[in-house]
Structure 1
């Protein structure tokens, strides 16, 4: 009889053939490095109804934004996550999620890692749920402490651009069947499979294999039944959904068609005959005879009692902020109370709206209230526990003591929370659902009694009802607004809004609760002290400049020391060991500006040009450096251009002086003792500043940069006393063409005239 086998399949469909049709395409979007959830690029797709297969196509390429010194970009690693209904909840940095966060037992998520090398990557999803699908993509996470701090221009400026599209295979051959009406068909090797659908609203139980909103997969082994066997699967259905059934013929080479009939039946609340299947299912999950008996009785009660508590939605002005209350609750308190009986299964349902409600965090909190009846019972007889299950699409049944939310077929299991009377802290339970999927959600509560051995016992005659306070609400980010070490912000990507925490002081995680990478107080203090006190090495440079009568230069060195000290005092201590004299952005501009200006005035002093030409050089440098610093203070060229111009002026001046004096300029002592160590210090400092800095060693390398550049000034700044040109007193010679200066030739006279003009 192996040839006569039917497959009533649950799950996702794997389609081996079919024509893909492109139905969705997104324009190119830029990807950036992942440091927090705010850095994701959001991609939105919409899958049509009755889709057999959805092929999500992603291609990432590198685009050279500015050429400068480079001609191409290397591929980088890209991460992508995809799921139905809402944004994927991820932690690429490995951070711990806050307590009571519902991450598992959610709608399945797909992910891929690939390179930005223009090679297409396709995610095939079989039997996708129709509706909104969201993908988040970003350049893969790497520890930011190891990131090299490079000036703009030292590496290619590249942008990773992602292009995406959606192609689907849709079936139109679906037969609608009505409850209690028999439908007869046949399948064979040529027909392969037939698909049926029926609508389910809010019935309590259903006898049939199913897949809500999607077409089951003929290749799946779930729900396989022999043709001669009546195949019945009992489950609690999702509300207001089409259910699809696929019947397929076995691939065994037989050409004989297989005839079958299909009937959808509903069970009444008080039906006890069909509960044998429920008991059989429980036998597959539980082991001890005592536990089997107790839970089997409870399941019979579940079929008889579903107490629905009606809820009212209350919306607020902030994004993703709303709550649900009972009809008679006080709107100002935010919580409401219900009475739950031991023989009852209290159920609440509420709806999360599409798009507008999915960007926050849904929170369910319950508290077991003290009462005289509960106190008397727990003191003399046993303890009491209330188990709550928060589930998506379909209701589930709380079990005890196993932490399970059972729905027979394992569609979407719920998030489990338990409160009990054993202590005050155990009386409160919480579930957080970040980025909840849109649609109907259910909360099911059931009281249980247990003895000292944590075994359930029957307490129906003694306990009566329990008073439980509930909070069902949604907030931006998290219920506590990111806690002490984070701030909550709304971001928009791909036209969709979402909220996320931005953490401070080294904290990471969805709610800024993971302190595994927090910088210790001692490290913060060391960083603040190193980066500020290292600027004190500019004091010798300023004193030397004053003694040699370089007053402008001394003023610039003092400004560099001042602004660098207070910039790092504001930036380095992470609000713990920090002091901000003014806004950080102003201090940063002054720090960069004065540092580059120090380089410029030092080169002009080394050039030894005087009078009006020196004033022009100082002012033109001050204006040009201010313009460059404001345009892009982290660019390599803001430093390189003044340095190259200053070196060119200095070189030209030295060459002219050497020709005029017929001897080396500056003096041999300067060339031998001061210039080489000064240039060496500058070279080492520039290498440290440009190539060796990372976020982890920044406090050490950047402090060394302060010290090295301050010491370099003390070597490079020339003496005020300069060698005079032989045979000419430039203080007395006016050097007009009508006057004669003591020179050996007309050619030498030309250089001396220029030197005299400069010095005047």
Structure 2
């Protein structure tokens, strides 16, 4: 259950921030279940809003577990990104070469459960939307069995709280404001909201004191002594601060402060004025003219095309994506495009194709330098290194921004020619370009991936689901790819099921037809399930889910049927239990085929039942059943089955699945050969013969009292009933008959 609360509580100013009266804001997410990281589809994304300026924002984190969680050193990753989904590669996955992966305002916290109630504090956070990305990353050195963590659930709760700082003064263009600094207020904030973009502004100030007065400025957040975009120190009572061209609809916050508090014995009065600077060509006040773009949306998520809108009478005004640059004029173009919550979950693409005109000498060294920048257009020299673009003549260049940050962005293109003036004047370049947005990597994920649209806590994003061991944002990292051993893994997993053939043949030979049918069912569906359960070149005779269910039912039923066959009960009762066991396997697999606990319970109950039949028969007939020879024959089967279960439960991982699971097939199928009852080869005696007692010969010697008499042998009649007790065992049905 997710609890999302926005609490607005009036709060008195604290001793530390006694200058400001404001409001406390809170935002809460409760019990968000987090999962092991394999790709972006496993991560949870949370959305937070900081609605007003604040000095510090706190994210409190609480982690709880449910079930059997033995690994306390599991790493939990909590990433915070301003205005975009966090872009990261926790396992050093590589990105496509054309991708720009450097981020602004990305903060990372990695902790485990030994850290109690971790806290993230951000000083002067930017106003707007923040996104958190949360997932679990287990140590790579630890081999985790596939069923080891099925009973452990990890939940995370987080609370954002911050106190809004009131801004008492707001600058308005060409209107001065009065400022007073005192002992009670040695620092004060002001703000300015840009309404018209692409203009340079200057802040002028005059003060009544010669003390150094520091003015700091920052875009979209409160500045402080260590975090600011612009800074000036007022000496001799006057100073000025120039600010670059900025896009419209941006807040700029100023902090005016005095470091030397002794200067505040008397209040310091000042005046601030903000005004625009006239843009002059080829001077220090040079301005870059930016053309707006129109965003055209298509039918797919994040599928946009940005079309420039030219506001001047250009010769090629009808073209929306082609410009001509040469050395005769400035040849500088800038384009403004917006990224908002409608396309932050995709990838932004900038495609360029330059062609030099046919009449230009091929020896001329001419190129186009570009810059991608936020909030303001920048020339190549001032551009961040990762956001620079160099387009050589007769070349194609692509740059991509995965999960772009929300802002007004600028693409600035500048003609560069290194040669003689006459050569450069005629060295004309034609540039075709396109700014677009799409899912994943242009709605694709290479050869070994599928693009998917997912939702996490109502945050929609696109991501690549990679196969065959490929990783990364575009499924281009082949560090752990296993395409080379794909054929061998398929053959191992499918052909290993043929080990059921000896068990099937032996069951038919001993007239155990139901057992033979179950083993054939298991072999058939296990073979085709593993042929379908492949990333590459899969072969499915019908739907994957149906094959998987049939394979699980066949595997469960093989265990149950074999154990019932080993029980010492009449065959008619076995037939009933066979049907009951198969129906039970169908029911529990339909409920949850991945619940290994129910499988353990089913096998345990069946095994205990079989052992009880052995004990009851042994006590009843006062001899060991099965016989010691039969139990000795069972031992190799038990060892093989036990080894298979150990491999399946404790050794099988995602990496070694293809050969460990094949060994599981071989061991379990081979063990059946030792468990199937032997056929009764001896000829059964008739019931009448087994019930007839033996007739003893009794010799009675009678000595005659007279001489000359002979000894005589007299045969006395014997009562059969008197000997019946000595032949009780022969009147009973042989326990061996109960095996058939």
The interval holding the TM-score normalised by the smaller chain is: 0.7 to 0.9
1:244 to 253, 274, 288: 253
1:575 aligns with 2:539: no
1:557 counterpart residue number: 519
Q: For 1:475-624, what aligned pairs fall within 5 Å after superposition?
A: 475-479=438-442, 481-521=444-484, 523-572=485-534, 574-576=535-537, 578-624=538-584
1:470 to 433, 440, 446: 433
Deviation at 1:96, TM superposition (A): 0.8
Partners of 1:146 and 1:696 within 8 A in 2: no
2:337 counterpart residue number: 350
CA–CA separation in structure 2 for the residues paired with 1:75 and 1:648:
38
1:416 to 373, 376, 388: 388
CA–CA separation in structure 1 for the residues paired with 2:176 and 2:247:
23
SS at match of 2:218: coil
1:43 aligns with 2:15: no
Q: Deviations over 1:352-385 (max 9, x none)?
A: 23x2221111111122134234x33x44xx2211
Deviation at 1:518, TM superposition (A): 0.7
Change (3 A) 1:368 1:305: farther
1:124 counterpart residue number: 121
Partners of 1:481 and 1:487 within 8 A in 2: yes
Q: How many residues are matched? A: 671
1:60 aligns with 2:32: no
2:233 counterpart residue number: 225
CA–CA separation in structure 2 for the residues paired with 1:603 and 1:203:
81
Which is higher, the Rg of structure 1 or of structure 2? 2
1:82 counterpart residue number: 80
Change (3 A) 1:757 1:107: same
Q: Deviations over 1:137-185 (max 9, x none)?
A: 11125549943112xxx65623222212221122224312334454443
Deviation at 1:724, TM superposition (A): 11
2:650 to 679, 682, 691: 691
1:449 aligns with 2:427: no
Partners of 1:360 and 1:474 within 8 A in 2: yes
1:6 counterpart residue number: none
Partners of 1:88 and 1:136 within 8 A in 2: yes
User: Unmatched 5+ residue regions in structure 1?
Assistant: 1-14, 65-69, 272-299, 407-412, 452-456, 734-739
1:111 to 108, 112, 121: 108
CA–CA separation in structure 1 for the residues paired with 2:620 and 2:172:
109
> How well do the aligned residues superpose, as a CA RMSD in angstroms?
3.6
Deviation at 1:249, TM superposition (A): 1.3
Partners of 1:48 and 1:131 within 8 A in 2: yes
Q: For 1:249-328, what aligned pairs fall within 5 Å after superposition?
A: 249-250=258-259, 255-257=264-266, 258-270=268-280, 300=282, 303-304=285-286, 306-327=288-309
2:202 counterpart residue number: 207
SS at match of 1:356: coil
More divergent stretch after superposition (20-29 vs 359-368): 20-29
Change (3 A) 1:671 1:56: closer
Partners of 1:212 and 1:238 within 8 A in 2: no
2:97 counterpart residue number: 99
CA–CA separation in structure 2 for the residues paired with 1:584 and 1:741:
71
1:337 aligns with 2:322: yes
Q: Deviations over 1:78-98 (max 9, x none)?
A: 101111112111111211111
CA–CA separation in structure 1 for the residues paired with 2:734 and 2:631:
24
Change (3 A) 1:562 1:754: same
Partners of 2:348 and 2:403 within 8 A in 1: yes
SS at match of 1:45: strand
Deviation at 1:492, TM superposition (A): 0.8
TM-score, with normalisation over the residues of structure 1?
Answer: 0.80
Q: For 1:357-376, what aligned pairs fall within 5 Å after superposition?
A: 357-373=343-359, 375-376=360-361
1:405 counterpart residue number: 383
2:600 to 630, 635, 640: 640
Partners of 2:198 and 2:287 within 8 A in 1: no
More divergent stretch after superposition (301-310 vs 680-689): 301-310
